[in-house]
Amino acid sequence: MPIEVGLWKMGETPQRVEFSAMETEQRLEDVLFKDLSILDPNLLLIGRQVPTAFGKFIDLLAIDREGNLTVIELKRDKTPREVVAQVLDYGSWVRHLEDDDIASIFDAYTHKYYPNEGTTSLDEAFCKYFSTEEMPEALNEVHELVVVAAELDDSTERIINYLTDFGVAVNAVFFRFFKDGDSEYISRAWLIEPDQVEAKVVEKREKLPWNGEYYVSFGGAQNRDWDEACKYGFVSAGGGSWYTKSLGMLSEDARIWVNIPGEGYVGVGRVVQEAAPIDGFLVDDGEGNKVPITGLALKISQSTTAIQDPEKAEHLVGVEWIKTVPVSNAIREKGFFGNQNSAAKPRSKKWPHTVERLKARLGVND
């Protein structure tokens, strides 16, 4: 059944706000161009009306914090079969884009639509938007396809559900415009929750079993100091649930390999205390006493606490280090796995290679 969205104005008697058909879907493209976070706040727009090798134009092209691309195609006046076929065709072209191709697309986009904003590189824009220190080493390892429409019909819904069941990363989102006097509103509804699409796709794509080793990304803020993390036994993340929720997968005795983005791998250890807000995290003060880390004169102690802001609070995981190296001796090699998540259970083909090389470089035996 096609998705429908309603809107009511609350008062003594709820009054339905009537849906108003937008003038053209070009207006919807303009809205998304001005603020793509309306579609997804985790996407950075890098191209509009992107020319393909076969003479067609992708409406919008975006990149996520993992360096993967998303093709966004408006349904306009196409039939369900036409729009899905077209977005799949675009996907067949996008999958072959190399890093320099993506950078060139971004350069053309900024020169056309932001001619007065200087020569911002894709790397600079990416790091600024996602508040990170560097882009992922490999871009466009996978891609996603999104159909955007003012309404979704049974046929489009059936086709997209069928494709996702077979591991194709395609979804649809529809927007409704509402008017209430001089005010205008827009609502958004996904055909399939994005997390569900990702889960289906991962299930189909994964060819390598997880090797039991956890990846951790540490740093990204001035309050996170590697020397402190080594001395007091912790890794941490904060600034929002996207950054902290992945720490929840680190159960006691999990072995973690720690990477500082922009520097390299700096340590391996075992989890001895599961993730908790910084407020309640205890450490040894050097005299055999367990004290709150917030009471020590440390950089990490300046982090946001759960009392100050539960959403953005710093969360710490207790670690017993097996081997660490200073940041100045961080280990980087071409082909190493890298990821912007605070913690991950990688199934990338790069991960087993990365772990084996780190074992050799750090002198770690199983």
**pLDDT for position 153:** 72
**CA 159/CA 296 separation, integer angstroms:** 58
**CA 217/CA 264 separation, integer angstroms:** 10
The pair of three-digit structure tokens given for residue 262, joined into one six-digit string: 């922009």
**pLDDT for position 3:** 54
- Compute the CA torsion angle 232, 217, 300, 304 (nearest 10 deg): -140
**pLDDT for position 22:** 58
Q: Please name each of the domains of the chain with its CATH number.
A: 8-205 (3.40.1350.10), 214-361 (no CATH)
Strand-pair partners of 188: 175
The reply to whether the predicted model has a pTM over 0.75 is no
The pair of three-digit structure tokens given for residue 147, joined into one six-digit string: 């159909």
Cα Rg of the chain (Å, integer)? 23
**CA distances in angstroms from 358 to 158, 289, 317, listed in the order given:** 46, 34, 21
**Cβ-based neighbour number of residue 185 at 10 Å:** 13
- Residue 280's identity, in one-letter code, is G
191 close to 157: Cβ distance less than 8 angstroms: yes
Q: How far apart are the first and last CA of the chain?
A: 53
H or E stretch at 335: none
**CA 222/CA 357 separation, integer angstroms:** 29
pLDDT tens for each residue of the chain, 366 residues long: 445 566 677 777 787 776 665 555 678 888 889 999 988 888 999 999 999 999 999 999 999 988 999 999 988 767 667 888 899 999 999 999 998 899 999 999 999 998 887 678 899 999 889 888 778 877 888 899 998 877 667 777 888 888 887 778 888 887 777 777 777 777 777 777 766 656 555 555 555 788 999 999 998 778 999 999 999 999 999 988 888 999 999 999 999 999 998 899 999 999 999 999 999 999 988 788 899 999 999 999 999 999 999 999 999 999 999 999 999 999 999 889 888 789 999 888 889 999 999 999 999 987
Strand-pair partners of 171: 146
**CA 212/CA 209 separation, integer angstroms:** 9
